[in-house]
Structure 1
Amino acid sequence: MVTTQKSLGRVLDEAAGIYQSRERGVFTFNVETGEYGIPDASFVPNGTRRKNAREKLILNFGDAFVLDEYIGRAGMWDVADSLGYGNPDTLRCMILYYILENRSNQLAQAWHEGSYASVRYPKANLTSQRISDLLSAVGDEGSQRAFFAEYFKLVGSRPGGEKVIIDSTGLPNSIHFPLTAVSNHNGKISNEVRLIYVVQQGTNLPLFFRHVPGNVIDVSTLIRTIAELKAHGIDTKFAILDAGYLTQDNLRELYEHKVSFLSRLQENRNDYRELKAEHLGSLESKEHLVEYNSRYVYVKRVRATIMGQQAYAYICRDMAMRNIESSKLLDRAKAQGMTTDEVFDAMEDQGVFILYSSRPIRTMDVLEKYYIRQQIEQVFDICKNNTNLLPLRVHSEDTFRGHLVLAFIASVIVKMLQDSLKKSGCSVNMALYNLGLQHCKVFDDVVLPCEPVKKVNDILKTLKIKYPLEISTVS
């Protein structure tokens, strides 16, 4: 009988058939079937510490401790655990890492070794291979559905749960996979993936996300996004939309599904030109003047047929914007040799814009409702600057989906933290920076945090988090 021998590399767990080699990394091998596999996520090999890494007796403490406490109190650890990943310590540490460090995931292990997170979550395995396994696992469709079911329980019942803002942003990248495609968005051409976010109006929290290839135009994603929300149990009643989303077909679908909306009418449409020609002359009168956010705007509401549908149009002129644009016009008019007629005609359009909605909104309220849309720009800013979303450093669709999940969770937490800190006047970045300056000393059975300075005490008071004198590490 001929037998074949093969080297499997280093034995990590003989009973479980887990090995490690340079070619395959950490893997399982079934001697009877000859099949290779992936170890369970809960398996943490001995010696995951980096080569030549010394055990640290002083760790960064404040940022990881306070953030961990805050996330638990906000209910987001329970929501994150619904992803069902086999090693919760790894998942939680990666969420902390996405918020605290805008760096490559290859540096996550080094961060973990120098942070209190290594004491709080000692079973975390942040080697590059296991991080890739984590991203692939949480990016799975089943895991995402379980996550959103739990997340909607947390935020779906809050005020404004059925009123949403929908918009998209580009994620430029040079990754060679089908999602990256040439996009021409508002005249800007790039290789990217389009990321669609839905934000809850009442809480300003990110509610849901989708991604589509970069060459898919926004207008084709709107109805599918609303339909997917409904499939998850969120029945959209009112949406504030970017002007680029609304075509004649989308408008008809919104009316058929009884989804009320508010949007801006694009200037290149015939409806815009006709409404402006008919109503601009009668706009500037006392009964049309409203005040919004220390600005004065003329707003006239009329019934109108827009793209074949009955709607309410709001012809507006922002006086502050008109003055700014007029000043710029007058500065260049002489240099460009403009006639007085040309100057007059150019001034007619200054500060003018038109909003429209499917249901009547009071003229004194319509601007406040529409500019709620700025909330989603703030969310995108959080995503791109506070959650490690960009630059994209993944190499497959599976890990890309998982990366978006972690970035979404991080964006929710950062937005919650931003709202909690609002009254203090302290930004999230400044708070986490000051907290990160607090250290702790690690002993065999106890962690001793250093005394908090005044800035840290102010943050703790705002967040209502108690700073410990000591933390026992004895199980």
Structure 2
Amino acid sequence: MTYVVKQKIKGRTYAYEVQSYWDPDKKQARQKRRYLGIWDEETGLIIPKTAERDVTAAKSFGPVYLLDELGKEISIRKKLKDAFGEDGDVIYAMAMANLIYPTSLKNLHHVLEDSYIPEMYSLKDSFSSQWSSTFLERLASKDTSMLSFYNSLTQTDDETLIFDITSLSSFSKNINWLEYGYNRDGIDLPQVNLGLVTSVHRQIPLYLKLFPGSVNDVTTLKNLIAEVKSFGISKSLFILDRGFYSESNVVEMASEGIDFIMPLHFGVKIGKGLISETNREIENPANARIFGGRIYYVMEDEVDIGGVKAQAYVFLNKHREGSEISSFYGRLIDIETSLDGKKAYREPHELFKRTAGNFARYFEWEVVDGLISLRRRVNAISQTINRFGKTIILSATPRSWDEVLSLYKEREVVEKQFDELKNELDLMPLRVQKVETLQGLLFVFLVSLIMRALLLRKAREAGLMDKRSVEDILLEMEKLRAVKVGGTWRLTEITKRIRTILEKMGVQVPIEPRA
């Protein structure tokens, strides 16, 4: 008689095949046990034992499975295949590999060799450095396919969009778009500029575009307005950085019927006027508000910009004001301590300029009896302090103050995505040698960003981000591997932590690898 028994040892349940037989020598019934594997409590199935000598291959399965399941929410694999045909799965594989383990093109094949990605999507390519460069260069020429993919990401003709631009620096001598311009990272290298459009409500990037390094923020916006309309977005709200402000940009957006929210620089005429007009009254108790647990004073006014009426909101954040004042006077006093009453050397002007830096405008100085004498420029200091803690935000249409502030703070989403693009996804410094290869690579990175955004949102909704990062989750999922025994792929045991991650994210616990 043969049957299966289960035995729980240190939290694990093991399954054994038991065969009863009669022992003629001892004249009693005996049992023979054969170990079958681990009993899976959830599925009621036995995970077969695997002898080490029988395993012919072992690959990382957990991260691939998790990302593939989350991607189904927006059908990203289908969208790529619809737009690019069979190349869609290659793009998806490269993007997924780069998200799981960011690396350079020349090392991409190592990541894929250790991953179940090729088996998941039935890929036969080598993914060598030369192959990858050629593929990305070919990908860059598929403008129609890229446009089709961008269009597929747009779910509605009414989107709240954040557009921002960043600089990507490189030592390359072969990318003709590399030019010197305003570098947002303070790096003294030629650069290309990268624009990214993100959906506020879905918190995923929708569009990415490369520009020559000397093209400024204002110029890119005019082209973007036309391109966004081509995606079928007829009504949009742009949340922009202050670098996009210009009278011509405001007039352009008004003529195109585009709604916008944008901060105003204190240095422009309208900004100076608003600070001056609201300075005395803004701290009136009637203007006090609470937002995000902080005290804000808020005043509103209508302004005219090139004949276009817009609503201006002046915000005073008392917490930030205190911090900025403390930092400002700390620096001011440090300079005085370093210079005032000190002996003037042969070139005191250079010493003052080098020590004071951009704080030089807050001092008058002279040399008296061989010593440097500093005096504070009270009016200049007062004008600067009057701006501390304050933000001016323009809105094309009247809105409540808290809606304006809330929408503007959504810009942090795209700022984090740029940080992830440059650092977490290992984009910087640029290592490619052709602008076409770079364009293809950036498209792959966009897909990586979309998948990362989906994972991040799901993890937050599941309450998994309190003590974990996206990288921690993917690292934990690495423990789930697929092993090839003979010609059959099997999964290793699913740990309690992995099961918890999957269940909290609403992802079905896998039973076996699949293609």
Q: Give TM class, smaller chain.
A: 0.7 to 0.9
* Number of the residue aligned with 1:327: 326
- Once the 2 structures are TM-superposed, how far is the Cα of residue 417 of structure 1 from its aligned partner? 0.9
CA positional deviation for 1:305 = 2.1
Residue 136 of structure 2 corresponds to 135
Q: Which residue of 1 aligns with 2:96?
A: 96
Label 1:59 to 1:305 Cα distance change in 2 as closer, same or farther (>3 A): same
Counterpart AA for 1:251: V
Q: Write the deviation string for residues 60-104 of structure 1: whole angstroms up to 9, x where unpaired.
A: 221122222332454110012133254555333212212112111
Alignment of 1:161-310 (within 5 A): 161-175=158-172, 176-185=174-183, 188=186, 189-310=188-309
Tell me, in whole angstroms, the C-alpha distance in 1 between the residues paired with 2:401 and 2:90.
Answer: 51
| Counterpart code for 1:358 | A
Q: Which is higher, the Rg of structure 1 or of structure 2?
A: 2
- Kept in 2, the 8 Å contact 1:239–1:260? The answer is yes
**Conservation of the 8 A alpha-carbon contact between 1:85 and 1:137:** no
Q: Note the C-alpha offset of 1:221.
A: 0.7
Equivalent residues in 2 for 1:68-83, closer than 5 Å: 68-83=68-83
Using structure 2 for the length normalisation, give the TM-score: 0.75
**Equivalent runs, 1:88-127 vs 2, <5 Å:** 89-125=89-125, 126-127=127-128
Give the stretch that moved more between structures: 372-381 or 361-370.
361-370
8 Å CA contact 2:287, 2:299 repeated in 1: yes
> What is the Cα deviation at residue 308 of structure 1?
4.6
The match for 1:374 among 412, 434, 458 is 412
Q: Which residue of 1 aligns with 2:316?
A: 317
* Superposed CA offset, 1:250-287 (max 9, x none): 11111111111111111111111112112211111122
Residue 245 of structure 1 aligns to which amino acid in structure 2?
F
Q: Offset of 1:332 from its aligned partner?
A: 5.3
Please report the TM-score for the alignment, with normalisation by the length of structure 1. Answer: 0.81
Quote the residue 2:492 is aligned against: 450
Instruction: Tell me how far apart the structure 2 counterparts of residues 391 and 161 of structure 1 sit (CA, whole Å).
Output: 36
- In terms of mean alpha carbon deviation, does 197-206 or 328-337 score higher? 328-337
1:180 alignment partner AA = L
Letter paired with 2:161: V
> Residue 63 and residue 222 in structure 1: after superposition, are their counterparts in 2 closer, same or farther (change >3 A)?
same
Deviation of residue 307 (structure 1)? 4.8
Query: Match for residue 349 of structure 1?
Result: 387
Alpha-carbon spacing, 1:311–1:90, altered in 2? closer, same or farther (3 Å): closer
- Once the two structures are TM-superposed, the CA of residue 414 in structure 1 deviates from its matched residue by 0.6
Alpha-carbon deviation of 1:329?
4.2
Q: Report if aligned partners of 1:445, 1:472 keep a CA contact under 8 Å in 2.
A: no
* Alpha-carbon offset, residue 299 of structure 1: 0.8
On the 8 A contact 2:288/2:297 being kept in 1, the answer is yes
Provide the rounded CA distance (Å) in 2 between the counterparts of 1:88 and 1:328. Answer: 51
Q: 1:389 to 1:78 in 2, by over 3 A?
A: farther
Q: Indicate the percent of aligned positions where both proteins have the same amino acid.
A: 23
C-alpha displacement of 1:339: 6.0
Q: Which amino acid aligns with 2:414?
A: I
Q: Which of the numbers 409, 426, 429 marks the counterpart of 2:471?
A: 429
- Structure 2 unaligned residues grouped into runs of 5+: 1-54, 337-373
Say if 1:348 and 1:458 are closer, same or farther in 2 by CA, change over 3 A: same
314 and 88 in structure 1: CA distance in 2 versus 1, 3 angstrom threshold = closer
Structure 2 CA distance for aligned equivalents of residues 109 and 454 of structure 1:
31
Which residue pairs with 2:49 in the alignment?
Answer: none
Q: How many residues align?
A: 414
Change (3 A) 1:180 1:306: same
Closer, same or farther in 2 for the Cα pair 1:290/1:386, shift >3 Å?
A: same
Q: Hey, what's the Cα distance between the residues in 2 that align with 1:213 and 1:332?
A: 37
| Alpha carbons 1:82, 1:150 under 8 Å: kept | no
Number of the residue aligned with 1:8? none
- Bigger Cα displacement from structure 2, 127-136 vs 336-345: 336-345
Q: Which amino acid aligns with 2:456?
A: Q
Residues 237/73 of structure 1: CA separation in 2 closer, same or farther (3 Å cut): closer
Please state how far the C-alpha of 1:338 moved relative to its aligned partner: 6.2
Question: 1:149, CA displacement in angstroms?
Answer: 2.7
Name the CA distance, whole Å, in 1 between partners of 2:57 and 2:164. 47
**Amino acid of the structure 1 residue aligned with 2:513:** I
2:120–2:514 Cα contact (<8 Å) kept? no
Matched, 1:460 2:460: no
My pick for the range that moved more, 82-91 or 70-79, is 82-91
1:220-254 Cα deviation digits (max 9, x unpaired): 01021011111221224211111111211111111
Unaligned 5+ segments in structure 1 are 1-54
